[in-house]
A = this chain, B = another copy of it.
Amino acid sequence: MDSKTVAAILADFRDGRLSMEQALDKFKDLPYEDLDFVKIDHHRMLRQGFPEVVFAQGKTPAQVAAIVERLAQVNGNVIASRATPEMYEATRALVPAARYHEVARMIVVRRDEVVVDEDRFILVMTAGTSDIPVAEEAALTAEIMGNKVTRVFDVGVAGIHRLLAQRQTIEEANVIIVVAGMEGALASVVGGMVAKPVIAVPTSVGYGANFGGIAALLAMLNSCAAGVAVVNIDNGFGAGRLASIINKMR
């Protein structure tokens, strides 16, 4: 089965000439599409509710553009994380609908109207201003996956009154993402304030004995508050994805 055949099926599905069931039938012997340098997993959308996200870092602009283009043929929404402006330029040439979020370093294709449950929001908090890029990666990921997101930035624990001023927002949130570098203490304080899932994202922000985020990572793992789980250093996408999964459970 050559890649032209795949492209034809994808185009037919995208344009409505094939129903999802019909497309699935055609794909049933085809677990993934081989683009030579990457295997695209079209089943994932069905299995996990959202297509494979492109982790752009380390790929060439041309590779990023090609993968986004292929994914965009069959999906309404696509995101590429850790993308540079150069990658965006290459992508936009192939996918005019693509947009670039500079702070979050993400390329986003957003065409589907997503049904947002306005009553349940994900709260994304940061301890400092330097944590914002990672927080935006998390927030944008959650938004494009159909969640309402509220942002509260720069409320680190060394100014505890700034944090307490947000108490009401914290209590109303459905899922909370805490993004913090340095000593990472924000996760513990927030985790002790509510009985909501808290996803902690250590960032590599800091200097000296911070060790690229290890200090914050260890602090979050050792949080004295139950209900806190941790993702990898700077992994805003992972936090946003997990928050979205949880926020949609009912």
Contact = CB atoms under 8 A, between A and B. Distances in A.
A224 B191 contact: no
Given A224-B127, A228-B238, A229-B229, A159 B219 contact: no
A231 B222 contact: no
Interface in A196-250: 196-197, 199, 204-211, 213-235, 237-239, 241-242, 245-246, 249-250
A44 B161 CA distance: 11
Interface range on chain A: under 10, 10 to 19, 20 to 34, or 35 or more? 35 or more
A224 B82 CA distance: 15
A36 to B, nearest CB: 9
A129 B159 contact: no
Nearest to A50: B195
Contacts of A82: 207
A115 interface: no
Tell which of A37, A82, A205, A227 has the most Cβ of chain B within 10 Å: A227
Given A41-B162, A157-B189, A158-B188, A234 B208 contact: yes
A215 B208 CA distance: 12
A227 B241 CA distance: 6
A184 to B, nearest CB: 7
Instruction: State the copy count for this chain.
Output: 8
Contact of A185 (B59, B183, B229, B245): B183
B53 A226 contact: yes
A194 B48 contact: yes
B208 A31 contact: no
A73 interface: no
A192 interface: yes
A9 interface: no
Contacts of A132: 37
Given A194-B48, A218-B218, A157 B185 contact: yes
A216 B158 CA distance: 16
